[in-house]
Structure 1
Amino acid sequence: MRIPFSYWWNKVKEDGSFAQNYAVVLSGTGLNIGIQVFVTPILTRLYTPEAYGVYSLFLVVSTNLALIASLRLPQAIMLPKAESEFRALIRIGVVASAALSFFYFVVLFFLKDQFLSFFNADKLIPYYYLIPVMTFLVCMNQYFGSWQYRNNLFKKSVAVDTSISIGVRGFNLAYGFLSKGTLLGLVFGDMLGKVFGLILSWKLILKERIKGLYDGVSKNDLLQAFKTYRVYPFVNLPGVWLEMFSGQLPVLFLSFVFGLPTVGMLSLAVGIMDIPKRLFAYSATSAFYKKAVDVYESSKNGLGALVTKTLYFLLAFIVIPYSVIMVFGKELFAVVLGGNWAASGSIARYLAMYYVIELLCVSLGSIFYVLRKEKVLFRFQVGFLFVRLMVLMVSYILGFSVDATILALSIANVVLFSTQLWVVFDFSKLNGYKYNGIVWGAIIISVAFMFGLRFLMHEFGLM
């Protein structure tokens, strides 16, 4: 049954609805991505692959540490029904983040040379202290972001994020031009953006509610809140960290084996490939999670319909962009970003093999949390890490090239994400084989069309 456009338009206009919240987040994310698309071809001519490599390695280290420091509690912020429980939970998170960030500083003070030299990042050694600072900033941005979504402050949150995105890109351009592409220019821009993001969120969005954190919260309230949500630091956190770490293994591996310029090539490829993921998956995740919680509380059998609608919506927008990259990636990167980045386009072609499936898993993965299937997700995350680690070890032993290593990882990821997506369908009481078949059918048809287009362009001398 076809749903008329007027139905969706009315849903978008309905205050506080899933459609409106998603539309607001999507529009803000789309604007931020538009800024990135406009600025990136300029940045790639200001900053070298090594500068992108430094930035990528810095982010990998700081985000991994931030995930641990946050105790994964930002994910639980939307769940407490009582305001006192919410205040206790966020206070636990902020104190833990600050304490662990300071601990990281102490450890790096003594081990910075050994740690950074291992990844061929000696140029980062004088700036080691920026890593724990960035760690704390990431944690606080996560808490503030979840806090805003908890209170349905989507419009204000998007306005702040967009303002910060414009400011960061402007800083990167100006600093890159004046410093002639210094290695740490991208790092400085990201850190400043997070600092100003916190300030704007505090002053413009959460000002009155932040005062509530200082209301009386007893030690018993803190202990009870931690006990209630202990699954996040003790079960959810290890699994999510394993998933993040296994996903970022290529950065660490390439840095160790091939050096920072190669990491820069991978970093740019991932950044471009993440555009559809950021536009659709990350925007959908927050709104989908909240809607899935509401649907499951009202009707245990309603998740299947929500998953199906979200699946079709995402497929309609993501299959073609990734198919274009898979077929034309190398040429597009060379033309748009500069000839020095053609190798990055080759890497992007391999990544596109599994990005459609990964995007769907990211968007629909909240099902594991809604159904309290965190242990199942944890098994997947352990499996992901093990398989990826084995692939990289074999690549290192056999002396694979960069392209061969990325191709092997991409094939492994296709199998891993397809299996996880099947389980998501099954938990939603949908036929996993049927809906996986729909996904792969859409991918195969789109890629075949792009290869046909490439053949015609070659025949007519357009390539």
Structure 2
Amino acid sequence: MGRKPGPALRAITLLASGTALGQLIAIGAMPLITRIYSPAEYGVLGLFSSVVVIAGSVAGLKYDAAVILPARNGDGNRIAIGLFVISILSVAISSAILLLFLIASQFFGGGLLVSMGHWALLLPVGTFAAGVSLSFTALATRAGEFSRLSHLPPLQKGASVVVQIGGGLLGVGVGGLLVGALLQSFVSIGLLARGRLKSVLLVALSFRGTGELRGVAHRYRDFPSVNAPTALLNSLAWNSQIFLLALFYTPDELGMFSLAMGMVGLPLNVILTAVSQVYLRESADRKSRPDRARFLWVRVLVGLLLLSVPIFVGLVLFCRYLVVPIFGSAWSLTEMIALALLPILWGRFVTTTLTTTFTVYRRQVWMLVWQVFAVLVTSAAYLLGGANGLRIDETVALASWATLPVYLAIIPLSLRAMSLGVVRS
């Protein structure tokens, strides 16, 4: 009789199933959405989403990433709630600062308001929702609520698709795309806060003034000082691409790049989120037992390598033969851009989960240095390609192949971090 799958594998399977259903909903709606909206409108969505992802990833100063680490006992759970509260407060302050910046920019040349119009005022809303969603996701991951987390992708994609199609049919224009995208974070908050909000508030109110919260914040001070800059650089490395491309290419080309990213990049990122959530929790539990931690690391790496083969073969075939029939002839350049993205997407797919090792073993400085190098390589490649008049797909391919070795360096670095053990604060 075969061995039953372990809890980590069951959790990954559960999350991946929810992810697959969510992506089926999104892919099923894409042929209609790309015929309702123009490539230029999709380009605005790409710019908007990139700002929200970049700002939302660090709005909580990465205290959300620390929620998983305290021991799962009375004191540890209380500390975790304290970290959650600190994260939410940080998100609120960061979103308010972004709003003030946008208002001020209206009087000094417009800035983002010029390219996005009045829809740019939704950026603080998106940042706040994304940051709060990350904080609640951290609590759910800590509690091992993978069944609830698996329900998120189909609900998020379903709500988003309904609003985007409805907005397009009603003639709302790009606003339909933006509001539909924002709705995903609010769906996440609504589902994850249900049944938890009251207990979280009770624990949060039990803290003795701000002094105790400041003590918790100080204990995990490496997260805002190191994890937050690292997360910012990580977001910039992936989401600043569209801003660099905007210097050299047309709005229609930016829209096709955004579709390519969403078509082949976002589904992989959602799968990696599922795997990373489980790996982070399991790795944190095993960090005091090096042999078990190393065994988990090897299993995850080998599993991702094996899983990448059918996934990326399927993506190549999809890009070559199905993009134009599904999305329409107006989006034909998307095929070449998507193929150009595949090398770096493969590198991210294999190594992104392993980066959580640096968080568990408190080696975030290593990740920060790596991120600086990754951003420099990626940005240089995009600027080089654009400045030399390469086609957009050629520039994307140049950046993709140039950055691939940088991502593969995560493998030996994360193994070394694990072998050295936890840094004591």
Give the TM-score normalised by the residue count of structure 2. 0.90
Q: CA RMSD in A?
A: 2.3
Residue 222 of structure 1, aligned match among 203, 209, 213: 213
CA distance in 2, matches of 1:44, 1:341: 8
Deviations 1:252-303 (A, max 9, x none): 0122321332221111111121255245321100001111111222x12333
After superposition, residues 55-74 of structure 1 pair within 5 angstroms as 55-74=45-64
Query: Which AA in structure 2 matches 1:319?
Result: V
Residue of structure 2 in register with 1:14 after alignment: none
Residue of structure 2 in register with 1:437 after alignment: none
Deviations 1:410-460 (A, max 9, x none): 11112211222332344456xxxxxxxxxxxxxxxxxxxxxxxxxxxxxxx
Q: Work out whether 1:95 is the aligned partner of 2:122.
A: no
Residue of structure 2 in register with 1:165 after alignment: 157
Residue of structure 2 in register with 1:382 after alignment: 372
> Given that residues 56 and 251 in structure 1 are in contact (C-alpha distance below 8 angstroms), is that contact kept between their aligned partners in structure 2?
yes
Residue 168 of structure 2, aligned match among 172, 176, 201: 176
Query: Which AA in structure 2 matches 1:277?
Result: L
Q: Work out whether 1:37 is the aligned partner of 2:27.
A: yes
CA distance in 2, matches of 1:286, 1:115: 42
> Given that residues 330 and 343 in structure 1 are in contact (C-alpha distance below 8 angstroms), is that contact kept between their aligned partners in structure 2?
no
Deviations 1:95-132 (A, max 9, x none): 12111211111111021476765x7x735222222111
Q: Work out whether 1:106 is the aligned partner of 2:97.
A: no
Report the secondary structure of 1:302's partner residue.
helix
Q: Work out whether 1:231 is the aligned partner of 2:225.
A: no
Q: Work out whether 1:134 is the aligned partner of 2:107.
A: no
Residue of structure 1 in register with 2:423 after alignment: none
Q: Work out whether 1:407 is the aligned partner of 2:397.
A: yes
Query: Which AA in structure 2 matches 1:332?
Result: L
Q: Work out whether 1:156 is the aligned partner of 2:148.
A: yes
Deviations 1:146-180 (A, max 9, x none): 1111122222233344323222212222222222x
Counting matched residue pairs gives: 415
Q: Work out whether 1:124 is the aligned partner of 2:128.
A: no
Residue of structure 2 in register with 1:200 after alignment: 191
> Given that residues 24 and 155 in structure 1 are in contact (C-alpha distance below 8 angstroms), is that contact kept between their aligned partners in structure 2?
yes
Distance of aligned partners of 1:91 and 1:425 in 2 relative to their CA distance in 1, 3 Å threshold: closer
> Given that residues 157 and 205 in structure 1 are in contact (C-alpha distance below 8 angstroms), is that contact kept between their aligned partners in structure 2?
no
After the TM superposition, which of the residue ranges 417-426 and 150-159 deviates more from structure 2?
Answer: 417-426
Report the secondary structure of 1:399's partner residue.
coil
> Given that residues 22 and 157 in structure 2 are in contact (C-alpha distance below 8 angstroms), is that contact kept between their aligned partners in structure 1?
yes
After superposition, residues 261-272 of structure 1 pair within 5 angstroms as 261-272=252-263
Residue 414 of structure 2, aligned match among 421, 424, 429: 424
Once the two structures are TM-superposed, the CA of residue 327 in structure 1 deviates from its matched residue by: 6.1
CA distance in 1, matches of 2:405, 2:306: 22
Identity across the alignment (%): 20
Residue of structure 1 in register with 2:135 after alignment: 143
Q: Which runs of no fewer than 5 residues in structure 2 stay unpaired?
A: 420-425
Once the two structures are TM-superposed, the CA of residue 205 in structure 1 deviates from its matched residue by: 4.6
Report the secondary structure of 2:3's partner residue.
helix
CA distance in 1, matches of 2:17, 2:208: 38
Residue 287 of structure 2, aligned match among 283, 296, 316: 296
Distance of aligned partners of 1:263 and 1:303 in 2 relative to their CA distance in 1, 3 Å threshold: same
CA distance in 1, matches of 2:277, 2:293: 16
Residue of structure 2 in register with 1:438 after alignment: none
Once the two structures are TM-superposed, the CA of residue 330 in structure 1 deviates from its matched residue by: 4.0
Distance of aligned partners of 1:113 and 1:311 in 2 relative to their CA distance in 1, 3 Å threshold: farther
CA distance in 2, matches of 1:193, 1:148: 17
Once the two structures are TM-superposed, the CA of residue 308 in structure 1 deviates from its matched residue by: 2.0
Residue of structure 1 in register with 2:338 after alignment: 348
Query: Which AA in structure 1 matches 2:140?
Result: Q
Residue of structure 1 in register with 2:350 after alignment: 360
Once the two structures are TM-superposed, the CA of residue 204 in structure 1 deviates from its matched residue by: 4.2
Q: Which runs of no fewer than 5 residues in structure 1 stay unpaired?
A: 12-16, 430-463
Residue of structure 1 in register with 2:264 after alignment: 273
CA distance in 2, matches of 1:261, 1:207: 47
CA distance in 1, matches of 2:165, 2:318: 28
Larger radius of gyration: 1
CA distance in 1, matches of 2:235, 2:270: 20
CA distance in 1, matches of 2:297, 2:186: 36
> Given that residues 327 and 349 in structure 1 are in contact (C-alpha distance below 8 angstroms), is that contact kept between their aligned partners in structure 2?
no
Report the secondary structure of 2:336's partner residue.
helix
Query: Which AA in structure 2 matches 1:79?
Result: L
> Given that residues 330 and 344 in structure 1 are in contact (C-alpha distance below 8 angstroms), is that contact kept between their aligned partners in structure 2?
no
Once the two structures are TM-superposed, the CA of residue 321 in structure 1 deviates from its matched residue by: 2.9
CA distance in 1, matches of 2:173, 2:133: 26
Residue 4 of structure 2, aligned match among 8, 24, 48: 8
CA distance in 2, matches of 1:325, 1:151: 34
CA distance in 1, matches of 2:251, 2:321: 23
Report the secondary structure of 1:152's partner residue.
coil
CA distance in 1, matches of 2:139, 2:204: 12
Residue 18 of structure 2, aligned match among 28, 31, 43: 28
Residue of structure 1 in register with 2:359 after alignment: 369
